[in-house]
Structure formats: structure tokens, C-alpha cells
Structure 1
Amino acid sequence: MTWTDPLAATLAPSPDDFAALARRAFDDLPEDFRRQAGALAFRIDDFATDAVLDEQGVEDPFALTGLLQGGHPGPPTLVLYRRPILDEWCERGDIALGELVAQVVADELGQVAPSGAWPGEGWSGVRSPSLADFAALAAHALANLPLAIKAAVGDVQIRVEDFADDETLDALEIEDAFELTGVYEGVDLPRRSVFDVAPSPSSIRLFRRPILDEWCEGEVGFQALVEHVFVHEAAHHFGFSDAGIEHVEQS
């Protein structure tokens, strides 16, 4: 699957998706090891609990991607932490989700994950959305704005970056770069004057990592979220109120 087909409409990988990837990763380990390991249970949590983090001496919950817990009684349980794994997947951008999950599984079991491509159904061979994927979806959102608004937008440039730069964050008095998903730069049309001297084209900047971080919460599809951020920023081009922005999104 790619980010230009129905995958774009899906929610972020769910715990069930992770469990399926983990089982496949375990099945791909050497047969002798699997026979020796015996029964192994899998559990998928979003993050490790505070108690587990304290026990492991880890302060940042995003730093712990998995943990093998001994079964007393019962089989041992391999716990995978969904959000930290997704965070690494989004940050790297060069690894399929199935391959990354396989690395976590193998590391926790003291094994080496098989190398090679990760094709297959579902999320197995999917890499995180790139800057180009974001730009394509933003261009699609621009092309599909209502005609009256699209005509009024005029020459708007689309820029996609991983994060806002420090200058932008300081200007908006934002400390955490993950809190800014997009920004409109330019003069709103209602404030422009016929006496303006050839103003440079306005631009809409989308920030990949904060948008992906919000998508990983699992409440909205990727394409819908990118388009929401884009339309929200585009609406500033017209000085729209929040109610006006909502009307644009529903039209």
C-alpha cells in the first residue's frame, strides 16, 4: 500500500495491527529458538506505565519500545509499546513498520531480526508518510476546495517541513514544536490593498512530525487530518472565523 491509495484514509495502526506484526515477527525467527521459547504471549500498550518506567530506570516514555515480562505463572509476555514504536517509525521514515516491529521483538528476545524487504498485506511493508506524501495530499486539498474559495485563494505556495523553525515558534510564542501543525504566512486577502506593491505569494506551511503525532493518537484518518490542517490554514487567507472554517470543511 502507498499513501496515494485508500491507505491515506485509514487510522493509525491499531493494537490489533501491532499484535499481528509481532506474531509474524516471532514466526520469522529461527525454528529452534521458537521451539525452545515455547509459548509466548503478546500484549500491546500505548505506553509503559509509570511503575514500569521507574523499574526500568527510564524517564521518557517514548524511550521504551518493548519489554519481556516473565510469566509467574503462565507463559512470558512480550509487551510492545505502540506510540514509541510509531514515533520512531515516523522519525526515521526509511523503515517499514513490520521491519521495525520485528527489530523490537528480536531485541527483546535476544535475537537478530531477519533482514530484507517487508512486503505483504496491511502495515507490514509500509513506511511513514514522507514530505512528498504530505505535499501531494495538501495539493489535493487545494484542488478540491469549493470553487469560489479556490478562485479567491490565488497563488498560494505549499511547503512541508518536519518541524517549524525556532524563529516561527518564537514569533507564535510556542515552546513545543509538536504543538504547531501548520501556519499561514502572508497577508490575509481582506487586509490587502490595491496600493500593495506586487506582494510575494502567500504560503501554507505544514509540519510533518506534529501532524503525524496527532494522527498516531488514532482518532482520525491521515488524509482527513492533513486536509483539515491545510483548510484551517488556508481559511486564514480570507480572515475566516472558526465557524467559517467549519463551513468550508463541511462543504
Structure 2
Amino acid sequence: MQLNTHTWGEGDRIALLVHGIMADHRAWRTVGPALADRGYRVIAVDLRGHGLSGRGEYSPQLFADDLVETLPAGAELALGHSLGGLTLSLAVDRLRPRRAVYSDPAWHLELPDGFGPEVFAQFKSAPREQIAAMNPRWEPADVDIEVATLGLWDETTALALTGLRGQDLLPAGPVVPSLVQLADPSLIIDEARAALLRERGFEVRTVKGAGHTIQRDDFDGFMASLDGWI
């Protein structure tokens, strides 16, 4: 499936951005322009079932195939958050960016009881006040964007992930030089898994005090943690 995309900048280097579940390209509203200011042409997708992209069947492999169909191979940088990190990891061998960054990637979905994909689907109708209360460090613009993206989101994308719960999806090793960026604490990649990723050749950095959507919780910390990778 050809995905809807949004572009910032006209630089010679290309950066690819892949959002997480429930979001769309607007989740990168600060990151896209910041990378453009650094000389990148930044291309952010709306995953299938999100934003203005098409609907259909949903699975991590289909999400990854869409990236390959839509985005250019050989980009300077590819960055994926959460579900976008999982999706990027399944497409990276075909996209072959020079560097990859996985921001709190959904490589292990062993979530607490009562907080599975079905609960994610219920967020479709979450009011603005609830979103703001759950994300006290977000700027008002990010809360507004979340409300808007939820309105466009096909919540059955979350149900498609039910079968992944409890599976260990950590890559065996980096296909290209790769950074794993973690929240503090990460609810997905615990210390033992972070250590395993380091053993497998990934660089792992934690953004102190940041929640799962790191760039919205602490934009400056998010960018600082990318030092040497962008």
C-alpha cells in the first residue's frame, strides 16, 4: 500500500520518520522541522489505518511492506517510535538506511493485565482532558494533535497486535548501525532486555524522566540523545 506522507525541508540527506500506534505524521511536528534545519529532507508516513493512509488488513509485516513500497531506500537516517520502531525493524533490511534509531520500540508487548491491545482500541474515544491528564508534560498543541489523530485512526489496528502479546521480538542484531532510545523507565524494554540489545550490537541510550512518547515529553532530551546519530 502506498502511504500518505508529509515532508519537511529540501536537504540533500533524507530522514525517514515512522510514528507509533494511534498517531500519524503529526507526532513528529517538532522533530521534522528540527531535522530539516539540520539539512535533511524529512519524510514522515501515516501507517495504514492511521492519518490519511488507506485501511485494510493489519499486521506488523504489512506495515513493514508498506514502508518499503512507499519510502526511498538508502536514506541517511530512519527513525521509528513504538509500533513504528517494530515496523522499521521488519523493513530495515530492505530500506537499508545508513543509520537507524528505534525510539522505545514495541519489541516486547508483555504489558500489565488489563492493558492489552483491546485497551488501546478504547482510546479512540478518549476526551482531551483524559489525554492531557495522562501526559502532563505534553504541550497543548500535542494534546490537540492526539485528539485529531484519534479521530482518524482505525482502532482495529490495535486488535491486530493481540497475537504479539508476550512474544520476544528483539532483533538478533542490527542490520545497519542502530541506536535504541528508551523512556525512563521503559515499559517495553526493561534493563535485562536493554543489556541484551547492547550485547547484540545496538547502542542503547535512556532519556531520563521521559515517558514512552519521548519527543513529546522532552523534546530537548530527545534531540540530545540523538547526538552523533543525526
TM-score (norm 2): 0.25
Larger Rg: 1
TM-score (norm 1): 0.23
